[in-house]
Amino acid sequence: MSYADDATGALNDITDAGASVTFTQQTPGVYDAATDTFSGATTTTVTGSAIEVPGNPDVYAALELIKLETRTLLFAASIYGDGRPALGMSVTWNGATFTVRSVDAVAPDGKPIISTIVVAR
């Protein structure tokens, strides 16, 4: 069973109420000691829309995060099955850069429909 229609509906609702976001992670590639350089650098992105939702203080405490420096985002990817943001990815939200600290996805068939993402500065 595919949940593509559910994912599209969630994306449309979140897009209408929220903002477009791009989660990114850069890796320098492979280090070559002989030349003291890196090669094969990559940038991984996950795009979609998000809205800020109330955070769970227990989750923040478990992650040892400071409430004033933390946000919880409800996220839907632009393309169903495109993935979910990984821990350590960065995102700009309301002009500030945050790092993904926790991802909890609703993925009944293994492909996320929506994800609750805790980000911190």
Confidence tier at 2 by pLDDT (50, 70, 90): confident
- CA 28/CA 16 separation, integer angstroms: 36
Q: What is the pLDDT of residues 9-24, one digit of tens each?
A: 999 999 999 999 999 9
Confidence tier at 103 by pLDDT (50, 70, 90): very high
At residue 62, the pLDDT reads: 95
Give the Å distances, CA to CA, from 9 to 13, 78, 80, 101: 6, 11, 11, 26
- Helices in the chain by DSSP H: which ranges? 4-17, 57-62
Q: Where are the domains of the chain?
A: 4-120
**Is residue 21 within 8 Å of 47, Cβ to Cβ?**
yes
Question: In sequence order, what are the beta bridge partners of 23?
Answer: 46
pTM metric for this prediction: 0.87
Share of the chain above pLDDT 70, in %: 99
**Is residue 41 within 8 Å of 28, Cβ to Cβ?**
yes
Query: What's the chain's average pLDDT?
Result: 93
Give me the architecture of the 4-120 domain, per CATH: Beta Barrel (2.40)
